[in-house]
Amino acid sequence: MKRICIVGISGKLGQYMLKHALERGYHVNGVCREKSVGKLGAVMAEHGNRITLYPGKTNDRDVIERAVKGCEGVLTVLAPWGVQQYASGTAQAVMDFAEPDARLIYSCGWHITLDGKDRYSWKINAIIRFLSPLLRWLRLVEIDDQYRACDLIFKSDTRWTVVRGSDLEEGESQGLPVWSEHVQDPVLASNMTRRIDFALFMVEALRNDALIGKAPAICGAGTESARLVEIAVL
């Protein structure tokens, strides 16, 4: 794999994915809003010969079509901003224009479910039930659109993986996160992942065909729940 695309490259997660991708020798096409290009100034100055930027909204189909052309993998941040089907529009554009055999990796939250068997904490249930309608009324965030986006992905015949992140924190890498197909797995109980490691899992998924057609929920490898399960296995 030589060239990949990162959709949402200027955000915190996107910049970490860019770091990991460059370390692995990829040439990176990146999509971000025009006003966010400046966030990448330092990395462009150092690695500009290996990064091609396509300024525009991530649900702009023309921008996505140009950005994913020739890419063997696409890493997409499914951002639910506004009330204009931003996440689902982004997902649909990526699926429509990505190369036929490209690996498509998407980031999302734990609240998404592939098979309906996930059992969520009171905190996640409260956010979905009470906060989501308020954010939509304020026209800030449309969490329901992430459901629509993932439904489109799950029904597609693309080589997809949806990575479901827990709560996130900054800090040094703890290594590749642990994962499970369902959020109630004891290994995920700590509900915390370093953002840099969420990005690591996304990039590593490009080369892990065992994750095709799965929606892994992840948690930091250095968290208490991950360590306790590791000890129990040993």
Its pTM stands at 0.90
Cα distance between residue 114 and residue 37, in whole Å: 34
pLDDT single digits (tens) 58-88: 999 999 999 999 999 999 999 765 446 688 9
Cα distance between residue 109 and residue 29, in whole Å: 24
* pLDDT of amino acid 234: 43
Among 58-62, 92-96, 210-214, 228-232, the minimum mean pLDDT is found in: 228-232
Q: In what order do the strands lie in the sheet with 159-165?
A: 51-55, 27-32, 3-7, 73-77, 103-109, 159-165, 217-219, 178-180
Q: Does the pLDDT at position 124 exceed 80?
A: no
* pLDDT of amino acid 187: 96
Cα distance between residue 153 and residue 172, in whole Å: 32
| Mean pLDDT over the full length of the chain | 89
